[in-house]
């Protein structure tokens, strides 16, 4: 068994942070309680939760040398701590590697051609907590200029010029500050886009195509990518954060949590924006749209609906600690891969052999299970 252990010197700095909206910028649909009363959704930082995640992969198609790349929940923030990773299996080579350009860390394994059933089991232990910005306490937050530049740049699927810039300027017309721009774009995405349950996986995040066709339907990697792209286009640093839901929501929303028994379809992309007076701030318009489309049998079209309003308010500046982040990388190259193309993101297990790259969404040929338990 190989094992990587990391010590943690950081402390939780967000305890007691409030989740109120920015003064004077409250979303119109949440200014007054809806008739019949609203559900509650108000994540707050506090006690850290500890989870053990298990990912088991079995490859049925064993043509030639087999290679696997598994995403690692390996970031250190004020809402997440990586404790350790360990793995077992019948690989001839296994080690932690990084994408050369983005620094995204992953577990890499090789299996010889003679091996009929390549298997790999990865166990990661992490701590998470909810996060929420305190809008009543602005300050001046510093960040590495290189990080900010990277999160203003275009990616292969998320340009920041052309129709993306045009749309962003229209969405933010009249907004002057970075907070006003972020809120205008958040509101625009919820008003103009919608979740499409039939989209494979989490979507691809092809923002240009969505805007050019006018078809703003998809899942989290599509919908939050629109938000991130529009923010970047008007000079507000933003990034997608790719991860996995681990446990049910504490607020009773079925669609905002997951059963730890089977997390194979629990991948979820969130978003962040960097606001000068607050630092990196949590965002998730995609989950607002998910609640609107799937929380009830009826497709809710109005974000002022009493079921949706607290989520609409809460996910501008907060998110719940029942989710773990893998990374925030775009346009990734898998170290050692024969593929000439990049991955838009790494949120699912990846693999390849002589037959080519595996389809991570095809369970018949590329079998894996994901589970988690709170410890």
In a domain, 323, yes or no: yes
Q: What is the CATH number of the domain that holds 183?
A: 3.10.620.30
Read off the pTM: 0.89
- 332: CB partners within 8 A, 6+ apart: 99, 101, 102, 104, 342, 343, 344, 345, 346
Q: What domain range is 345 assigned to?
A: 48-128+328-374
User: Across the 375 residues of the chain, what is the mean pLDDT of every consecutive 10-residue run?
Assistant: 39 31 39 53 96 94 92 94 97 96 95 93 98 95 96 97 98 98 98 98 97 98 98 98 97 93 92 98 98 97 97 98 97 94 95 92 85 95
First to last CA, the chain: 21
52 and 40 both lie in a single domain: no
Total domain count, the chain: 2
Out of 290, 308, 327, a domain closes at 327
Is residue 6 in a domain?
Answer: no
Q: How is residue 353 written in tokens?
A: 């052999």
- CA-to-CA distance for 23 and 319, rounded, in angstroms? 20
**Dist CA 281 CA 258 (whole Å):** 23
Integer CA distances (angstroms), 157 to 117, 210, 353, in order: 35, 10, 26
HSE-up of 206 (CA within 13 Å, CB side)? Answer: 11
């Amino acid at each position: 068994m190989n094992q990587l252990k990391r010590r943690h010197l950081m402390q939780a700095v967000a305890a007691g942070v409030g989740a109120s909206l920015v003064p004077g910028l409250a979303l119109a649909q949440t200014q007054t309680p809806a008739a019949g009363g609203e559900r509650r959704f108000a994540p707050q930082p506090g006690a850290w939760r500890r989870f053990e995640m298990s990912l088991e992969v079995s490859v049925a198609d064993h043509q030639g040398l087999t290679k696997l790349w598994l995403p690692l929940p390996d970031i250190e923030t004020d809402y997440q701590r990586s404790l350790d990773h360990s793995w077992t299996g019948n690989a001839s080579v296994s080690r932690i590697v990084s994408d050369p350009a983005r620094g995204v860390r992953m577990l890499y394994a090789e299996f010889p051609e003679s091996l009929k059933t390549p298997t790999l089991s990865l166990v990661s232990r992490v701590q998470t907590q909810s996060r929420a910005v305190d809008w009543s306490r602005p300050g001046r937050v510093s960040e590495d200029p290189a990080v900010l530049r990277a999160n203003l740049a275009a990616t292969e699927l998320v340009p920041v010029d052309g129709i993306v810039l045009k749309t962003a300027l229209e969405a933010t017309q009249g907004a002057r500050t970075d907070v006003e721009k972020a809120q205008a774009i958040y509101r625009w995405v919820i008003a103009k886009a919608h979740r499409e349950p039939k989209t494979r996986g989490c979507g691809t995040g092809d923002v240009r195509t969505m805007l050019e066709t006018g078809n703003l339907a998809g899942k989290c990697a599509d919908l939050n990518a629109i938000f991130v792209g529009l923010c970047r286009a008007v000079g507000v640093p933003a990034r997608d954060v790719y991860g996995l839901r681990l446990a049910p929501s504490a607020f009773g929303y079925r669609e905002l949590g997951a059963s730890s028994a089977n997390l194979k379809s629990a991948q979820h992309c969130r978003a962040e924006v960097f606001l000068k007076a607050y630092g990196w701030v949590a965002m998730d318009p995609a989950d607002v749209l998910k609640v609107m489309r799937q929380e009830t049998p009826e497709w809710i079209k109005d974000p002022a609906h009493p079921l949706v309003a607290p989520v609409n308010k809460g996910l501008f500046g907060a998110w719940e600690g029942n989710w773990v982040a893998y990374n925030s990388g775009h346009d990734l190259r898998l170290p050692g891969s024969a593929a000439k193309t990049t991955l838009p993101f790494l949120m699912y297990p990846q693999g390849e052999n002589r037959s080519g790259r595996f389809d991570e969404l095809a369970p018949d040929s590329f079998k894996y299970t994901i589970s988690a338990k709170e410890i």
